[in-house]
Amino acid sequence: MSFFSKAGEQDKWKEKYFNLLDEQEQSEVSHKKSEDSYKEKEDLLCKTIVRLTIATTGLDPLLDPHLLGIRDQLKNGINSQTLKNELEKFTTSVAQIKHTPPDQSPEAELLFDFLLQQYNTETQQNSLKLLKNKTETAKFETPNQLFIAILEAIEPDGDTSAPNSIANHIDIGIVSRQLLLLLEGIEIPSIFDQQAQTAKQLLAAPNQSATAFETILEKSFQLLLKIKQHNQSEQQDIDKFLSHITEQLAALDVSVMGASTAAIESAENRSRLDQSVSEQMEKLQLSSTNATKLEPLKGLINSRLATIAIEIKEHTQKEAIQRQKTQQQLDDLVNKIKDMESESSDLKSKLKIANNQALRDTLTGLPNRNAYNERLETELSRWKRYNSPLSLVVWDIDHFKNINDSYGHKAGDKVLLLIAKQLSDHSRATDFISRFGGEEFTMLLPNTDSQSALIVANQLRQTIEKTGFNASGASVAITISCGITEFILNDTDETAFDRADQALYQAKEQGRNRCCIL
């Protein structure tokens, strides 16, 4: 009786063991599902935070480093303490931001501060303070109205109602020349070429009346405003594209992080399987050592082997699902990278076109003043390093204004094109030619002293003199003068250009169609 009782007791403990084993396996499956769900939510949270940091980048320079730090932190997963520290720094920076009232104008503040320092009578001070308060609560429709109000505050007894009252307070010639230099110096988009040419002609016209000058001034300001708005629009397009690229890069970071996490999980699953199989084998070995009967041992072995087979099958299925998921992530990465390569290629082409437009004169196709400044910086560095001679030539078309006045600006444009072509076709490969502005051209001659530069310049001058040009059926003589200088010790770009400009002035004074050295 005791034998059977002992066998029954063993069966009972065996049944309890298998029940506990089943409960443990179910618990592991449930825990795994919970971990997968938590991981998916964590990935979604990371992506959401990354996109929010991208969307807010650029709102304030003080916040940008912290936003970048948060993004970098999330690439390695969520570390609660580190992320908490980053968020606390971010909160501190947000509290330090100073918000400027939308109606406050720093330029107006500076203007009135200057005026209050210059005009210190009691009447002027009171009038200017009242006007300053008015500008803070309301805006003038045009700058002209603000200027008239300022004149009234400064000179309350003056006649500001007359049309020429503003012109009486400024030198029209100086303002016109400065505006003309401004229009010559900035890069004007091709869509504004005609308006810019008209504005330049009006500013260059002599003996302007006060009324006409105000109209010219208004047109010039409107043109500059349009150019600014156009450039801002182009910059916004580039900023949007770069923001899009940044967002895609952030998405790639998250995808790579997901693929890396999947690989880690796969390695952990294999490790758990190896550990489980080892434990089962150890228990089998222990059971066989302690076994006293064959049949119970056979059943136990079969049960253990079945459990191992189930675990291997489940692991194989999970591995297949994980491989499929990882492969999908890699395919998504490849597609995203291809899209980014395509978009980057488009951006590169757009930037190349924009750079060419920024460094090229739209009429002649020659390098413009910006390109000249860039090349001059390079040549100056080479000149200082190797101590090789470097010469500068400043060209100016003779009687160009008379050609414009007599035959029209289309004829003037043809002359500019003709001169540009002759200078390009008959100069050396090492020379750098640019349209400096208006009817002025410049040449940089590396490894060339002033006497050699004079020989090159006279050859070009004679070639242009022999070039025929017809306008409105009449033969028009074209000549050109130049000033030459060689860079010397302690020279800057400005000192050398001033000497070349003075030499050009001498050439004009001596009868034009000649080259002078200074």
- d(CA 319, CA 266) in angstroms, rounded, equals 7
Residue whose tokens read 């064959």? 294
Band of pLDDT at residue 229, cut at 50, 70 and 90: confident
Q: At what angle do helices 210-290 and 172-185 cross, to 10 degrees?
A: 30
Q: What is the pTM of this model?
A: 0.43
474 pLDDT above the threshold of 50: yes
- Average confidence (pLDDT) over 266-277: 70
Q: How far is CA 435 from CA 370, 374, 420, 506, in A?
A: 10, 14, 8, 21
- pLDDT for 103 equals 46
- Average confidence (pLDDT) over 17-25: 63
Tens-place pLDDT, residues 325-344? 777 877 777 777 777 777 77
Q: How far is CA 499 from CA 15, 442, 492, 494, in A?
A: 107, 13, 11, 9
- The class level of CATH for 369-517 reads alpha beta
- pLDDT for 272 equals 72
Residues acting as catalytic residues: 439
The domain ranges of the chain are 13-99, 369-517
Q: At what angle do helices 172-185 and 193-204 cross, to 10 degrees?
A: 150
- Average confidence (pLDDT) over 412-422: 91
Residue whose tokens read 């001498």? 506
CA atoms within 13 A on the CB side of 25: 14
